[in-house]
Chain A
């Protein structure tokens, strides 16, 4: 039996099931990160002093640029698929995954520098919330890479059977990816600059 409303919109909501599903998932993600941002405020307001200049601003800024570029390549991948350019769409999807990997490599160097100085999450309140927030964000990046690798690899066979459904899957992955970018847009100034 075929799952209904994977491509055509439902008559009641005007949306395909996947579209509403991914937005409800993102709503739950907003609450997850919201709780952690709230914890950040609580810890910062309650702290006698808050460290400045502990993190490498330039590395953080480079990672911001990488994520913004990956958001552009992601949305262009979807646009190319909607214009029936499968090869270009897949190419931009792979480029997005590569940019995400570069982000993680930068993060690895950043984490390694901290641990080499004995500055783990146990070292201070600031580093505890820093590792919690960026660690959770990093897990989201890894999740995004896995989904993009599937869609560009074995999942790409769907394009031959049902191109609209494939384009929808890329669109939902894109919505998730832009959310991950959006979270970083707020994490960067909060952790690196303020």
Chain B
């Protein structure tokens, strides 16, 4: 993170530009929604734009583009666990315990 006042003054301009870009991306998200794309494509486009916006907030506003390694370490662990939590619904979908198919398989064995 910058501590030199001159560097900080320059970064205020960057914050303004990034803020403007975030607003443009928001307008694009709403605009794409008006086109009525197929649901899978609409989900993909909206999530890609949201991820881009989120990365800009994290990198520039939260200064993650130049942070200490302890913070990166904690965040990498968090991202791994976050992905694991998001994957939990997939485990529930592949779970056949209690369904007729699952019982049949159990009896066969």
Contacts and interface: CB of A to CB of B under 8 A. Distances in A.
A83 B5 CA distance: 5
Contact of A34 (B54, B71, B74, B86): B86
Interface string A1-42: 000000000000111000110011001001100110110011
Given A57-B30, A71-B19, A82 B50 contact: no
Contacts of A45: 89, 93
Contacts, number: 119
Contact of B74 (A27, A64, A75): A27
B96 interface: no
A72 B33 CA distance: 26
B107 interface: no
Contacts of B16: 72
B57 A82 contact: no
Nearest to B9: A83
Interface stretch (A98-106, A124-132, A181-189): A181-189
Interface string A37-69: 110011001000000000001000100110011
Interface residues of B, number: 45
Main secondary structure of the interface of A (DSSP, over half): helix
Given A30-B78, A71-B57, A38 B85 contact: yes
Main secondary structure of the interface of B (DSSP, over half): helix
Contact of A185 (B54, B70, B92, B93): B54
A13 B19 contact: no
A23 B12 contact: no
Interface residues of A, number: 45
17 contacts: A23-B71, A23-B74, A34-B81, A34-B82, A34-B85, A45-B93, A65-B23, A65-B26, A79-B8, A84-B5, A178-B61, A182-B58, A185-B57, A186-B50, A188-B29, A188-B50, A193-B42
Given A41-B89, A174-B62, 19 more contacts: A15-B70, A15-B71, A20-B71, A23-B71, A23-B75, A27-B74, A31-B85, A38-B85, A45-B89, A45-B93, A61-B30, A65-B26, A72-B15, A82-B2, A82-B8, A178-B62, A185-B53, A189-B46, A190-B46
Interface of B: 2-3, 5, 8-9, 11-12, 15-16, 18-19, 22-23, 26, 29-30, 33, 39, 42-43, 46-47, 49-50, 53-54, 57-58, 61-62, 68, 70-71, 74-75, 77-78, 81-82, 85-86, 88-89, 92-93
